[in-house]
């Protein structure tokens, strides 16, 4: 499972946030109270689609297995 806010992988779900995207229950979670608060603020101020520093830190790095084009 992946945190909806910070994109951390293999999380222990903290809170279900599926309803904020009209998704079925139990399909979208955040990993912590901190991520929940930050996500709710981003939804409130309309910045939820903008990259945040936590997401950037959790984006997978390229590896030798990635094909070069």
Q: What is the mean pLDDT of residues 28-52?
A: 95
Asked, for residue 40, whether it belongs to a domain, the answer is: yes
Asked, for residue 58, whether it belongs to a domain, the answer is: no
For residue 68, with 0-12 CB atoms within 10 Å meaning exposed, 13-18 middle and 19 or more buried, which class applies?
exposed
Residues recorded for the chain:
69
Number of domains present in the structure of the chain: 1
Asked, for residue 64, whether it belongs to a domain, the answer is: no
Residue, of 64 and 62, whose pLDDT is higher: 62
Q: What is the pLDDT of residue 64?
A: 65
Q: Measured between alpha carbons, how far is 9 from 12 in angstroms, rounded to an integer? A: 9
Report yes or no: 15 and 30 within 8 Å, Cβ to Cβ: yes
DSSP SS3 for 2: strand
Asked, for residue 47, whether it belongs to a domain, the answer is: yes
Range of the domain at 10: 1-53
Asked, for residue 12, whether it belongs to a domain, the answer is: yes
What predicted TM-score, i.e. pTM, was given to this entire model? 0.80
């Amino acid at each position: 499972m992946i945190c909806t806010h910070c994109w951390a992988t293999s999380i222990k779900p903290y809170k279900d946030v599926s309803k904020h995207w009209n998704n079925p229950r139990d399909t979208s979670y955040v990993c912590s109270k901190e991520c929940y608060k930050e996500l709710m603020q981003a939804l409130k101020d309309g910045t939820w689609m903008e990259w945040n520093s936590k997401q950037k830190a959790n984006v997978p790095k390229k590896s030798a297995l990635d094909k070069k084009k």
